[in-house]
Amino acid sequence: MDFNIMYIPGTDPQLPELREIVVSRGLAGLAHLKGDGVTDNTPVFDSSPYFFNSVPLQKIPRFLMRQGHGANLRALMFVLAFMISAVILTCVTILLPARRWARAAGAKPPRGAVVYFIAIGLGFMLVEMGMMQQLSIFLGHPIYSLVVVLTGLILFTGFGSFVSDRLKSSSSLVARTPAIITAVVVVLYSLAVIPVIHRFIAGVMWQRALISLLLVAPCGCFMGFCFPLGLRWMGVLRQEKNLPWMWALNGAASTLGSFVAILVSMSTSITACVVLGASLYLLAALFLPQRAEKSAEESMPPRSVPVTSA
């Protein structure tokens, strides 16, 4: 088939990258392969299965100066170009109109609420994308991951949102508790998913699909609590006029979160992406405001009002 023979056992490889691989012994030696200082020749694992990407993001400038082209660079440039396009479209269609509305309505949301809704939007996408990428290996094909994981996660998130109506947003502790639990559950998922994949990889399709649903169900349920409880807590704080602004920030963060998840996963690992999503939920819980920030009118001292009698 006119293949070029790169290496035959017993001969000296011509490429320095292959020479480093041949002389390495065990995974410990292979894990330190860094190629020519620009490419990354370390082996792939279930937590980082991107065998097609050998150019780390931080090495792109050096790669451009040395080679300037290649399939790896084109793939990365496509991802970055789509991300930049998404940033521009998100600003034009979501953030700028929402900001214009907020100025016209005189609505200035509490800073903690801004952090909360951005964090849960970004955190949800990091966890979702991490689950889809990791469980696609377990299910055998990305389309199965799209059908099983995405559908299951949205279903259980909706269930969590439905059940959240039973909780009374009587205090900030009640409002922030689901985000804290979500962070813990997502971390537990990240610790369990690889051993579970290795244990049940030989199962038939319906068994692997069921196990995937069982893995994502707890995370989806608790993630579903966070957004509606946050909105109801804003109502308790008498911030109803800022609810459209919160929706816009959460939607913008969710839109950009998918690109952030891909870049984080490719630069580090899928596990790091999921754990970062859990950290964002914890951040959201810490920044959820305990009380409303006083507006300019509320902070002014009361004025005496003349009283007249008929």
pLDDT in tens, 209-243: 999 999 999 999 999 999 999 988 888 888 888 88
Asked if pLDDT for residue 70 goes beyond 70, the answer is no
Task: Tell me if 79 is assigned to some domain.
Answer: no
Answer yes or no: do 22 and 146 share one domain. Answer: no
Please list, in sequence order, all residues whose beta carbon lies within 8 angstroms of the beta carbon of residue 173, skipping any fewer than 6 positions away. Answer: none
**Burial (CB count <10 Å: 0-12, 13-18, 19+), residue 79:** middle
Answer yes or no: do 16 and 162 share one domain. Answer: no
pLDDT value for 34: 61
User: Exposure string (b/e) for 223-261, b if CB count within 10 Å is 16 or more?
Assistant: bbbbbbbbbbbbebbebeebbebbbbbbbbbbbbbbbbb
Answer yes or no: do 114 and 29 share one domain. Answer: no
Task: Tell me if 306 is assigned to some domain.
Answer: no
What is d(CA 249, CA 242) in angstroms, rounded to the nearest whole number? 11
Average pLDDT over residues 6-29: 80
Residue with the larger pLDDT of the pair 253 and 302 = 253
- Say if CB 161 and CB 225 are below 8 A apart: yes
Q: Most confidently modeled of 52-56, 136-140, 306-310?
A: 136-140
Answer yes or no: do 31 and 159 share one domain. Answer: no
pLDDT value for 291: 64
pLDDT value for 108: 73
Answer yes or no: do 30 and 115 share one domain. Answer: no
Residue with the larger pLDDT of the pair 44 and 68 = 44
Answer yes or no: do 178 and 264 share one domain. Answer: yes
Task: Tell me if 55 is assigned to some domain.
Answer: no
Task: Tell me if 253 is assigned to some domain.
Answer: yes
Task: Tell me if 262 is assigned to some domain.
Answer: yes
Answer yes or no: do 255 and 117 share one domain. Answer: yes
* Domains held by the chain: number: 2
Answer yes or no: do 146 and 253 share one domain. Answer: yes
Task: Tell me if 245 is assigned to some domain.
Answer: yes
CATH code (residue 155): 1.20.1250
- For the chain, percent of residues with pLDDT exceeding 70: 86
Task: Tell me if 230 is assigned to some domain.
Answer: yes
Residue 32 sits in which domain range?
Answer: 12-43
Average the pLDDT over each of 18-27, 119-128, 287-296 and give the range with the smallest value.
287-296
Answer yes or no: do 34 and 157 share one domain. Answer: no
Residue 45 has φ and ψ, to the nearest 5°, of: -130, 175
Q: How confident is the model at residue 301 (pLDDT cuts 50, 70, 90)?
A: very low
Average pLDDT over residues 291-302: 45
DSSP state of 272: H
* The two three-digit tokens of residue 194, written as one number: 């690889």
Task: Tell me if 265 is assigned to some domain.
Answer: yes
Answer yes or no: do 26 and 158 share one domain. Answer: no
Asked if pLDDT for residue 260 goes beyond 60, the answer is yes
- For the chain, percent of residues with pLDDT exceeding 90: 36
- Look up the pTM and report it: 0.80
Answer yes or no: do 30 and 127 share one domain. Answer: no
pLDDT value for 74: 74
Answer yes or no: do 27 and 158 share one domain. Answer: no
Angle at 223 between CA 219 and CA 227, to 5 degrees: 175
